[in-house]
């Protein structure tokens, strides 16, 4: 079931992306014909057909590819664009130093459970991803939870303001403050917060900030292969040696210049979709771990991933401000582990390139309940690689919300505790 709540958000995002696409097409001379669209005032205007654009994507492509991917989900859901305003209340900075003071929107998909007493779980995607990456999980989780998944500001189907943050603090605020504005707009008071990879970093930082203002909002924190737990002082010897080579120096320069994978996809123009196809076919196919994607799943995920990556650059530009080369956090979660106020579960795939050992070290300093669960036959995308194992880990993490006797719940078979 698909329902779309119409709002001005679609028009706002369309203008952002069309401006970028038109500028690129003009520079390359790639387009030679035109088609009509409707602007924010309802007037028809000429734009370049997607087949003739250098970067063959648009707002409509993102929305359509999301709809096709979520057609695999059987549980009824609602997609809406949640208005978060033009900036955090009381702040002189709009999202963030944007030249525009127009309202911004967070793309949100909600699966309402028939049981009104079901706990709410909010899912936050990782870097370079969007909420649709959880397409294999929505049906199972929606049987036990009210599930809400979002595209973070600057990604997926959410608004993509100009990214003008200049520091780690501002960059963290971009994601934390926009999430808080979204929470207020959705009127959410108590929920379980799940974040994957970079989304785990954001979720943890949000919970740390919220502890002083509204500690009751986040009831439990689930960090799935979280990025940013350790600092570069924990860098492996192999990576240290690589950074000292000329290749490592070049890659480090590109990193500090904020060259993102998305820029490569855009730079390849009409060849970008093929690059994304090769990645998804390898990562979730020939070199995949666990339960491989079906042909239909691979096709739909590839299409969705391309359009979300190739759209206007925004949230992706956080990379160099949050992480140093090698994806080590400039302000690691490990350094604030003693300040943790929310019970936490870490979930890692056995083959996750994010090491669970950082979570073990953080747990030594935490003063709240903390457990680390490892899922077999899974890598960094544990929720895609081993669907049933991931769901078992989430249900176990949330046993005090789901079970009448949580203290006697044993770890599900196949999972291991670290």
Question: Could you tell me the pTM of the whole model?
Answer: 0.85
Digit-coded pLDDT (tens) for 141-190:
999 999 999 999 999 999 998 888 889 999 999 999 999 999 999 999 99
Residue in 349, 353, 398, 402 with CA at minimum distance from that of residue 374: 349
For residue 93, pLDDT beyond 80 = no
**Residue 365 to residue 133: CA distance in whole angstroms:** 32
**Residue written as token pair 């305003």:** 85
For residue 83, pLDDT beyond 60 = yes
In 10 A of CB 55, how many CB atoms?
A: 24
Q: What is the pLDDT of residue 234?
A: 58
**Residue 320 to residue 280: CA distance in whole angstroms:** 24
Answer CATH for 59-417 from 3.50.50.100, 3.40.50.1220, 3.40.50.1820, 3.40.640.10: 3.40.50.1820
Digit-coded pLDDT (tens) for 352-389:
999 999 999 999 999 999 999 999 999 999 999 999 99
Which range of 4-18, 31-45, 287-301, 336-350 scores highest in mean pLDDT? It is: 336-350
Backbone φ and ψ for 147, nearest 5 degrees, come out as: -105, 130
**Residue 111 to residue 281: CA distance in whole angstroms:** 29
116: Cβ–Cβ under 8 A, 6 or more apart, which residues? none
Q: What is the pLDDT of residue 286?
A: 65
Q: What is the pLDDT of residue 98?
A: 61
Under 8 Å between Cβ of 387 and 347: no
127: Cα within 13 Å, side-chain hemisphere: 20
Q: What is the pLDDT of residue 89?
A: 56
Q: What is the mean pLDDT of residues 383-400?
A: 97
Cα-Cα-Cα-Cα torsion 333, 336, 340, 344, nearest 10 degrees, comes to 20
């Amino acid at each position: 079931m698909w329902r779309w709540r119409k709002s001005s958000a679609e028009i706002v995002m369309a203008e952002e992306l069309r401006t970028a696409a038109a500028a690129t097409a003009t520079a390359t001379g790639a387009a030679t014909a035109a088609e009509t669209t409707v602007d924010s005032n309802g007037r028809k205007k000429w734009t370049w057909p997607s087949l003739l654009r250098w970067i063959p994507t648009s707002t409509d492509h993102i929305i359509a590819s999301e709809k096709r991917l979520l057609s695999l989900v059987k549980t009824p859901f609602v997609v809406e664009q949640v208005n978060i305003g033009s900036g955090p209340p009381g702040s002189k900075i709009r999202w963030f130093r944007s030249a525009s003071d127009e309202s911004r929107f967070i793309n949100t998909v909600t699966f309402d459970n028939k049981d009104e007493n079901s706990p709410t779980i909010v899912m936050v995607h990782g870097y370079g991803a969007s909420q649709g990456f959880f397409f294999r999980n929505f049906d199972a989780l929606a049987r036990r939870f009210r599930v809400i998944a979002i595209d973070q500001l600057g990604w997926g189907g959410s608004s993509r303001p100009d990214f003008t943050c200049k520091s780690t603090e501002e960059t963290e605020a971009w994601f934390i403050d926009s999430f808080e504005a979204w929470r207020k707009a959705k009127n959410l008071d108590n929920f379980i917060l799940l974040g994957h990879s970079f989304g785990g970093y954001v979720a943890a930082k949000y919970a740390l900030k919220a502890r002083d203002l509204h500690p009751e909002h986040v009831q439990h924190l689930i960090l799935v292969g979280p990025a940013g737990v350790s600092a570069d002082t924990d860098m492996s010897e192999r990576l240290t040696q690589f950074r000292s080579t000329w290749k490592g120096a070049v890659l480090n320069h590109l990193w500090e210049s904020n060259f993102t994978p998305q820029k490569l996809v855009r730079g390849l123009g009409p060849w970008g979709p093929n690059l994304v196809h090769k990645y998804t076919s390898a990562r979730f196919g020939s070199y995949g771990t666990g339960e491989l994607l079906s042909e239909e799943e691979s096709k739909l995920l590839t299409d969705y991933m391309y359009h979300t990556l190739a759209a206007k650059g925004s949230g992706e530009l956080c990379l160099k401000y949050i992480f140093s080369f090698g994806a080590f956090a400039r302000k690691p979660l490990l350094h604030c582990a003693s300040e943790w106020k929310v019970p936490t579960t870490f979930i890692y795939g056995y083959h996750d390139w994010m090491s669970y050992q950082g979570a073990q070290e953080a747990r030594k300093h935490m003063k709240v309940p903390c457990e680390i669960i490892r899922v077999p036959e899974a890598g960094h995308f544990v929720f895609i690689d081993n669907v049933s194992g991931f769901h078992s880990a989430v249900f176990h993490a949330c046993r005090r919300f789901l079970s009448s006797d949580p203290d006697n719940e044993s770890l599900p078979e196949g999972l291991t505790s670290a």
